[in-house]
Amino acid sequence: MSAEGQRILGIETSCDETAAAIVRDGNAVLSSVVSSQIDLHARFGGVVPEIASRAHEELLIPVIAEAIAEAGIASDEHPDVVAATVGPGLVGALLVGVSAAKAMSLVWGVPFVGVNHLEAHLYAAFLEEPELELPVVVLLVSGGHTMLVAVREPGRYELLGQTIDDAVGEAFDKVARTMGLGYPGGPAIDELSVKGDPSAISFPRAMRNEGLDFSFSGIKTAVANHVRKHPEDEPADVAASFQEAIVDVLLHKARKAAEQVGAKGICLAGGVAANSLLRERTCDVGIELGLRVFLPNRAMCTDNAAMVAAAAYHRLLSDGPTPLNVGADPGLRLVAD
Ligand code: KG4
Ligand code: ZN
């Protein structure tokens, strides 16, 4: 199914961002509205599922209305397709977006497309680079996932490696909490690291030389122990040393994966892809291996709905609309086992 000028409304409510966007023809972002719930969850040090669902309920309709108005869609018109993230994520949070999308699809008489949140993150990289030459290796690093994915043809993914315990964003968030830097931790550690010495402390690099899987629970504990034993250490040095160890492991494996796949390019995706050191070092790897590097802009790295609409455009072309009896799936995977 394809129609020129097709405007897809994307809806994202899988975690703590309530987002809606209008994307035309799969890559022209006409609007992208993200309402963050960070302030609501910050005092609990992490996302509280029940609070997230309630906030999505309150925020979603105004956010959608804003996305539609900003895209210049008149009040007597409507988007041509409605897409929503169906998983993975928090079930109560997902249900808010999925139910709203299905209702709009019925009322407007337009197709519904259910989108995998992880595939949406991959499309954030492709949104700005529609002519991306395959194969590419994507390092998908978010609060819930850490994976290396090979994309050899559009829409087909091969999982090369993933975390066996904590996601990398989770490690950033937990370390920041240990250090009293607040939530979410990634941006706080990123910022503080600029003033620190990355070689001050040598934190463990678990599984660095073992295959393409990752493990980040050990480093989180190592930082907590270090902070307890050495309270005199500069927080900036601790943050910079932690970030250095994480980025070193991520890129050591991404480099191996790119070589293994014979990749033409390397992409970053997911919230942690906003990290300054990771972005800088990915460019270094690209230069070293002669690979093209695709870094989504920072707003596209963290959860947003433009990436949902972009992924929906491609799913609609390949698979057609999603039946309305498909529900939210909190454990949805990118690649079937
Ligand atoms: O993709 P995302 O917005 O939500 C999930 O799907 O998980 O990712 C959120 C994660 C959080 O753990 C946050 O701390 C991390 O991305 N993050 C960062 C940075 N910005 C966000 N981590 C490191 N450096 C950053 N600049
Ligand atoms: Zn995400």
Q: Which ligand is nearest to the CA of 119?
A: 2
Whole-number Å distance, alpha carbon 169 to ligand 1 midpoint, is: 5
Domains of the chain: residue spans and CATH = 7-122+301-319 (3.30.420.40), 133-300 (3.30.420.40)
* Ligand found nearest the CA of 299: 1
DSSP 29: E
Cβ of 89 less than 6 Å from ligand 1: no
CB of 120 shorter than 6 A to ligand 1: no
- CA pair distance 304, 181, nearest whole angstrom: 24
Ligand with an atom nearest the CA of residue 300: 1
The reply to whether ligand 1 has any atom less than 6 angstroms from the CB of 296 is no
Q: What is the pLDDT of residues 65-78, one digit of tens each?
A: 999 999 999 989 99
CA 89 to ligand 1: nearest atom? 6
Cα gap 159→162, rounded to integer Å: 8
The mean pLDDT of the chain is 93
Neighbours of ion ligand 2 (CB under 5 A): 142, 303
Cα–Cα distance for residue pair 11/64, rounded to 1 Å: 8
Distance CA 83, CA 312 (A): 6
pLDDT in tens, 33-49: 998 877 776 777 777 78
Tell me: pLDDT of 53 over 90.
no
pLDDT in tens, 76-111: 999 999 999 999 999 999 999 999 999 999 999 999
The answer to whether 115 and 308 have CB atoms below 8 angstroms apart is yes
